[in-house]
Chain A
Amino acid sequence: MVKLAEWQGKVVFRKYGVPLPRGEVARSPAEAESLVRSGKVPLPCVVKAQVLAGGRGKGGAVRFANSPEEVREAASAILGLEFKGEKVRELLLEEKLPIGRELYVAMTLDRAQRLPILITSAQGGVEIESVPDAQIDRQPIDPFPGLTGYEKRRAAKVLGLSGGQARSLERVLDSLWNAFQREDAELVEINPLAIVGDALTALDAKVIIEDDAAFRHPEYAEVRDDRTELEEIAREKEIAFVQLDGNIGVIANGAGLTMATLDVLTEFGGRPGVFLDLGGTDDPKKVTEAFLLMARAKPSAVFLNIFGGITRCDTVAKGLVEAMGQVPPAERFPLVARIRGNNEAEGIEILRAAGVTAVPDLRSSAQAAVEAARGRP
């Protein structure tokens, strides 16, 4: 998924007409100060770290400033921060508005109902997870015919809005609905949506774009996210690759089989490190690429679990032996393979000849992998 930083989310919101405070992005204290001195951002203002993690207010990553000097000071303090493991590189400076109540509004997917859903709460400005169920309203939206007038009026009523404020909310909801659909969003969230006089303003923006829709949105290709370097390489090669805390590398084909493999290793006291899902590939070149990627993650041992349905086990084994030859001797690690299915006997023979522990049984091979990793860094 592509998670947008607040300022990027607000670029999306502006495009669809969600009312926002006046604001600018700064990447240095000097730039922050000059934005205020030139009047591009009016005082008093708020200086906010542009990180993806929540809880910025409590974590000192949001500060208020009344003068150019204070802006500079706040900017240098926040730019030095490492917030929940993320280095702060960008700031959003925004005018400080005289706000009334704070609301919560979001649209996302309800998987169970197979419908988009509008989520609202009068308890905005706090983490929505901490709001009791009874104070959260859920309104499914049918894509045919889309967000309707009565749904918007109902949302206004639930949030206790009337008159100009209600009409402002209806416009915000139309904008959000268009953004959710046209940007292929998994989530569009405004928390808080603040009441400022007779209108509403989005003080924060959280937008997540669906990865699978990337072909419709080349504009998000450059957006940074929380993938590691190796995860990024894997993405380019279309291999599912996730880095965990443990030391046993896992290669399997298919997400379900990969997860089941992690379950079995964990049961026997192993700590899965990197896991790598080959998917439904029957391409030995991809096996080689995956193995070399795994080698770069420096696992203590690697457990390969392949069920050859259409994939042939001997083909996978050949790809694996080929890849092992390309890893420098100093960087080699024990490899245990569980090979089952099409041409299983041939696959096992090829691997054993190359010095790999290879068996068809999942339980004993998982135990062997845990044993192989024990005592190694």
Chain B
Amino acid sequence: MSVLVDRDTRVVVQGITGHQGTVHTRQMRQFGTQVVAGVTPGKSGGEVEGVPVFDTVRDAVEKTQANTTCVFVPAPYAKDAVLEAVDAGIRLCVVVTEHVPFHDMLVMYPYARSKGARIIGPNCPGIGAPAKSKVGIIPNVVFQPGRIGVISRSGTLTYEIVNGIKEVGLGQSTCIGLGGDPVVGTTFVDALPLFESDPETDALVLVGEIGGTAEEDAADHIRHHFSKPVVAYIAGRSAPPGKRMGHAGAIITRGKGTAQTKVAALEAAGARVARFPYEIPGLIAEAARGARR
């Protein structure tokens, strides 16, 4: 049992006829994912990489029993694409599209939730469970079946870290790139219980970034509800104080949101915090040995 995706995951790719949609449909199929349908309005009847294309998600679901979507449609249409998928009965929406306005997410997220659907992203690399299924754009080469879970707010840095885990002879149970946008469908706190209850995960790597309070909230959750070893890394310790969201934003995050507060919170919750990405594989190998004992 992996987290959120497995061999029964049947993927519809929204925006399959675009460059990204086509490239990653091929990559997902090479990974072993069941990509059963594509959707691009007005292009039904065609095929992309051997996958039938439909005009609507509803048609795709009726004909192919798709249960998961991977969204590549351009940002102005992403909200509509997700609402369409949710209304068609899709219960997992992986939104790769970047630059989705957060005001749109403020509608998509509660709507999906009210229908029992989950969004991962937007602006995320997606999710992968080696030897089972991958939905999104994480490179196939970094994966190797194993027992380390990965949750991350980054993109490329995630690939680097997942790859590092492979290079020390370990593998991954499930990796989820949550996306770094201000509003995401799945946060660390949302994802942690999935790994806690996953019997195939022994230890977890958590990759955070400066900004927001997602890592502090994760630390609080880990302290009370997460029993497996955690190795964390926070990118951006040296970044200068960024162009922030003005005064009101600073009040909400008062006393939180810096690399220092995140590292301190995670350490206080019992996580080992790597100072650099290349320290992670060693730390997680150590943690995994401890977990199996």
A residues at B contact (CB < 8 Å): 1, 3, 54, 106-112, 114-117, 119, 127-129, 133, 136, 138, 142-144, 181, 184, 186-187, 189, 191, 206, 208, 210-213, 215-216, 226, 244-245, 252-257, 259-260, 262-267, 272, 279-280, 307, 309-310, 340-342, 362-363
Contact = CB atoms under 8 A, between A and B. Distances in A.
Interface of B: 23, 27, 75-76, 98-103, 105-107, 109-110, 137-139, 141-142, 152-160, 163, 180, 182-183, 207, 209-210, 212-214, 217, 233, 235-240, 243, 245-252, 254, 275-278
A309 B245 contact: no
B23 A255 contact: no
Contacts of B213: 111-112
A213 B155 contact: no
Contacts of A272: 238
27 contacts: A3-B246, A107-B248, A111-B182, A111-B212, A112-B213, A117-B252, A187-B248, A187-B249, A210-B103, A211-B99, A212-B99, A253-B156, A254-B154, A257-B157, A257-B235, A260-B157, A260-B233, A262-B239, A263-B236, A263-B237, A263-B275, A264-B276, A279-B98, A307-B163, A309-B142, A341-B159, A362-B278
Nearest to B233: A260
A184 B101 contact: yes
Given A266-B238, A310-B27, A212 B154 contact: no
Given A184-B103, A259-B239, A341-B141, A143 B248 contact: no
Nearest to B177: A256
Given A111-B183, A187-B249, A309-B141, A280 B156 contact: yes
Contacts of B278: 362-363
Given A186-B246, A189-B247, A256 B156 contact: yes
A133 B256 CA distance: 14
B244 to A, nearest CB: 9
Contact of B245 (A142, A143, A186, A363): A186
A253 B275 CA distance: 20
B160 A340 contact: yes
Chain A CB within 10 Å — which of B101, B109, B153, B250 has the most?
A: B101
Contacts of A143: 106-107, 110
A210 B101 contact: yes
Contacts of B212: 111-112
Contacts, number: 184
Contact of B155 (A3, A208, A256): A256
B249 A256 contact: no
Given A256-B154, A256-B155, A280-B156, 7 more contacts: A133-B254, A187-B245, A210-B101, A253-B156, A257-B157, A260-B236, A342-B141
Contact of B235 (A210, A253, A259, A340): A259
Contacts of B159: 307, 309, 341
Query: What does DSSP make chain A's interface, helix, strand, loop or mixed?
Result: mixed
B156 A108 contact: no
B209 A208 contact: no
B248 A106 contact: yes
A213 B106 CA distance: 13
Given A106-B248, A256-B209, A115 B102 contact: no
Contacts of B142: 309
Contacts of A106: 247-248
Nearest to A186: B245
Given A143-B107, A257-B157, A260-B276, A212 B245 contact: no
A189 B240 CA distance: 25
A108 B182 CA distance: 12
A114 B106 contact: yes
A9 B22 CA distance: 43
A230 to B, nearest CB: 16
B171 to A, nearest CB: 17
Closest 8 A/B residue pairs (Cβ): A256-B154, A254-B156, A309-B139, A256-B157, A266-B238, A213-B101, A259-B235, A259-B236
Contacts of B217: 112
B235 A260 contact: yes
Contacts of A187: 245-249
A128 B251 CA distance: 8
A267 B275 CA distance: 10
Contacts of B247: 54, 106, 127-129, 187, 189, 191, 206
A181 B103 contact: yes
Contacts of B254: 133
B269 to A, nearest CB: 17
Contact of B238 (A114, A211, A262): A262
Contacts of B243: 1, 226
A181 B101 CA distance: 11
B172 to A, nearest CB: 14
A253 B156 CA distance: 7
Contacts of B155: 254-257, 280
A310 B217 CA distance: 32
B114 to A, nearest CB: 8
Contacts of B156: 252-254, 256-257, 280, 307, 309
B246 A257 contact: no
B101 to A, nearest CB: 4
